[in-house]
Structure 1
Amino acid sequence: MMIIQLGNPRLRQKAALVENVDDANVQQLIDELIATVAEANGVGIAAPQVAQSQRLFIVASRPNLRYPHAPEMEPTAMINPKIVAHSTEVVKDWEGCLSVPGIRGLVPRYQAIEVEYTDRHGKLQKQELTDFVARIFQHEFDHLDGVVFIDRIENTLEMITEQEYQKLVVNKT
């Protein structure tokens, strides 16, 4: 699937609730998002990033070229997600986005969140997420409301290119 880029107005729209998880189109979208995020070396992707206005995203943390230290987890579809509680602790860390290629930024996020979402089988799931996986969830959740990570950067001096990120952060010894 084609990932839309920053500047496409669909990236800034609030996504609609998914009405029927069992709908064949929703299930196909989940499969296509899982394939797209793997192909793009991402750790998450939201339906709005492929121009689908639906409150649905994939969290698919795994080590890859863009995130070599990511924890390993099964790609998980999270439908109509909510953050029901969060830690007071906020942590800044580097983020990038498949819809904003070439740029990384230091983004403040809650260190721990309690979430609810419907899985692809229609079951309500409740989980506590921490650290990197909590960051992915918050990043993708923002996409459902038309927010991209650069909106959350507190200072433009905390933005760097992907090339510099790879030198500074990934390859540091």
Structure 2
Amino acid sequence: MKLPIVAYGDPVLRKKAIDFETEETADLKQLIADMYETMYAAHGVGLAAPQVGISKRLFVVDASPFDDDEPELKDFKKAFVNPQILEETGEEWPFNEGCLSIPDIREDVYRQPIVRIAYLDEHMQPHEETYKGLAARVIQHEYDHIEGKLFTDKLSPLRKRLLEKRLNDISKGVVKVEYKMKFPAAKKGR
């Protein structure tokens, strides 16, 4: 089932998400399936639970659209439950990022190229893995969501001021999107 994606300005995007408990795993597989369906319908490469209004530590990624640049991403599709980034290393590098919760805005964001992360998979099995390049970037972007952060937080104060009106418009629903969204400041009847 496709879920509505919450837009910039929704308080859930600013909350630090909480862990899934083991007794909550019955609905986890369906939520993951719904998140993948939602992400694909919106042409995204990652989606975090807070972006669909659920303040839980979960995100899904499918970086296969980047396999032209990095062939090892051809089958890079994973769910990350209760993840914890253990280490980020390397010299920061820029990449033009966007976000399904902030449609029509893309900006260069600097991130470190290597990330080590501990997480549970959809079967609640533990993993600790290291990723680099675009896989690391997608993971870092989605991880920020479960920490209550957005890619716009990484921009310079000047750049944020220049984007302020567009961000407020997104919050009000004054943006064209091809997928279902919930806008926190939209006037009723829109």
TM norm. shorter chain > 0.5: yes
- Between the two structures, name the one with larger relative contact order (CA 8 Å, sep ≥ 6): 2
Return the letter of the residue paired with 1:49: Q
Query: Which protein shows a greater Rg?
Result: 2
Contact 1:21/1:121 (<8 A) preserved: no
Residue in 2 that maps onto 1:50: 52
Q: CA deviation at 1:39?
A: 1.2
The separation in 2 between residues aligned to 1:103 and 1:126, in whole angstroms, is: 33
Q: What is the RMSD computed on CA atoms of the aligned residues?
A: 2.4
Contact 1:112/1:134 (<8 A) preserved: yes
Residue in 2 that maps onto 1:171: none
The separation in 1 between residues aligned to 2:132 and 2:93, in whole angstroms, is: 11
Residue in 2 that maps onto 1:143: 145
Greater helix share, 1 or 2? 2
Q: CA deviation at 1:115?
A: 0.9
Q: Which moved more, 1:73-82 or 1:112-121?
A: 73-82
Q: Which residue of the other structure, out of 34, 37, 48, is the alignment partner of 1:35?
A: 37
The separation in 1 between residues aligned to 2:116 and 2:138, in whole angstroms, is: 13
Q: Which residue of the other structure, out of 87, 95, 99, is the alignment partner of 1:97?
A: 99
Q: CA deviation at 1:26?
A: 1.7
State how many pairs are aligned.
Answer: 158
For structure 2, list consecutive stretches of 5 or more residues without a partner in the other structure: 167-190
**TM-score, with normalisation over the residues of structure 1?**
0.83
Residue in 2 that maps onto 1:169: none
Q: Percent identity?
A: 35
Question: Aligned pair 1:156/2:159, yes or no?
Answer: yes
Residues 102/77 of structure 1: CA separation in 2 closer, same or farther (3 Å cut): same
Residues 147/92 of structure 1: CA separation in 2 closer, same or farther (3 Å cut): same
Residue in 2 that maps onto 1:127: 129
- Partner of 1:128, secondary structure, is strand
Q: CA deviation at 1:99?
A: 0.2
Contact 1:56/1:79 (<8 A) preserved: yes
Residue in 2 that maps onto 1:108: 110
Q: CA deviation at 1:156?
A: 1.2
**TM-score, with normalisation over the residues of structure 2?**
0.76
Q: Which residue of the other structure, out of 14, 17, 36, is the alignment partner of 2:16?
A: 14
CA deviations 1:48-90 (Å, max 9, x no partner) are 00001100000111228xx975732342110111111221311
